[in-house]
Homo-oligomer: A and B are copies of this chain.
Amino acid sequence: MASPRDNHLLATLSAAELTNIGQYLEPVEMELGDVVYESGRELSHVYFPTTAIVSLLYVLESGASAEIAIVGREGVVGVSIFMGGATTPNRAVVQSAGGAYRMPARVIQDEFRRGGTMQHLMLRYTQSLLTQMAQTAVCNRHHSVDQQLCRWLLFSIDRLDVPEIATTQELISNMLGVRREGVTEAAGKLQKAGAISYRRGHIKVLDRAALESLSCECYQVVRRETERLLPFVAPH
């Protein structure tokens, strides 16, 4: 069973700080596809994933979508609560089933206002989120589906204990904002190259280094920046 400290942000708090807020932390289990929050809906809680991975998606009027950022045990879902906006025009969807701890909006707001470690952490994490979004924008403009799939796989396994992802190519295509067939083709190439193996709904990363070399620079840039901003928090 996961403990709050399995979330790397919570793990950074001192024992005293964690005890203080512990009573407000509620463990939740999240299934693949669960919508943690809907675009424009006011958030009641922030979520600190432990084993779950959550994708921040933007869904266009046409129904097309694209992943904006990915949040796992290194982060928190719902920054708009302490940033002051209460809502965002994005949807948050569970991309990999697992656990999280959630905390009522008012509690995190109070903690944040106190201005201590928690505020510091939340702000730095939010900056890493800015970096991730910026890089996603550039990547969407300039890099191929093949490269982006590598980046996406790396981001995902960095947030899991085993290099194995339970998801379909269809779902991945929604995240990347490309056709399902595009993912099939790209995944086929990676499998042929021995970098991954997969079967219906399961992808296993066999050769992490190969993925890194086939990926665009975006993966490393975000990873390094996250490590810089949150040295005790970065995934892996």
A80-107: which have CB < 8 Å to B? Answer: 80, 82-85, 88-90
Of chain B, the residue at the smallest CB distance from A225 is: B89
Residues of B within 8 A of A82 (CB): 123
A124 to B141, CA, bound (A): 27
Any chain B CB within 8 A of the CB of A9?
Answer: no
A28 to B193, CA, bound (A): 55
Distance from A20 Cβ to chain B, minimum over Cβ atoms (Å): 19
**A interface, over-half SS:** helix
Of chain B, the residue at the smallest CB distance from A128 is: B85
Of chain B, the residue at the smallest CB distance from A224 is: B89
CB-based contact B221/A138 at 8 Å: no
Instruction: Given A89-B225, A225-B89, check contact A137 B217 (CB 8 Å).
Output: no
A69 to B115, CA, bound (A): 28
A221 to B138, CA, bound (A): 20
- Chain A interface size, as a band, is 35 or more
Distance from A118 Cβ to chain B, minimum over Cβ atoms (Å): 13
Distance from A126 Cβ to chain B, minimum over Cβ atoms (Å): 6
A126 to B126, CA, bound (A): 9
Of chain B, the residue at the smallest CB distance from A129 is: B130
Residues of B within 8 A of A136 (CB): 137
Which of these, B66, B85, B177, contacts A127 with CB under 8 Å?
A: B85
Which of these, B130, B142, B228, contacts A177 with CB under 8 Å?
A: B142
9 tightest Cβ-Cβ pairs between the two chains A and B: A137-B137, A140-B140, A133-B133, A83-B127, A141-B177, A140-B141, A136-B137, A68-B134, A85-B127
Q: A88-B134, A137-B137, A142-B177 are in contact. List 20 more A-B contacts (CB 8 A).
A: A56-B134, A60-B138, A66-B138, A66-B141, A83-B123, A83-B130, A84-B124, A85-B124, A85-B127, A88-B131, A88-B225, A89-B131, A89-B221, A113-B115, A126-B126, A129-B130, A130-B133, A133-B133, A137-B140, A141-B177
Residues of chain A touching chain B, judged by Cβ–Cβ distance below 8 Å, are 56, 58, 60-62, 64, 66, 68-69, 79-80, 82-85, 88-90, 113, 115, 120, 123-124, 126-131, 133-138, 140-142, 177, 217, 221, 225, 228-229
Residue pairs across A and B with Cβ atoms less than 8 A apart, 20 shown, are A56-B134, A58-B135, A58-B137, A62-B142, A66-B137, A68-B137, A68-B138, A69-B134, A79-B127, A82-B123, A84-B123, A85-B229, A88-B131, A89-B135, A126-B126, A129-B130, A130-B133, A136-B137, A137-B137, A140-B141
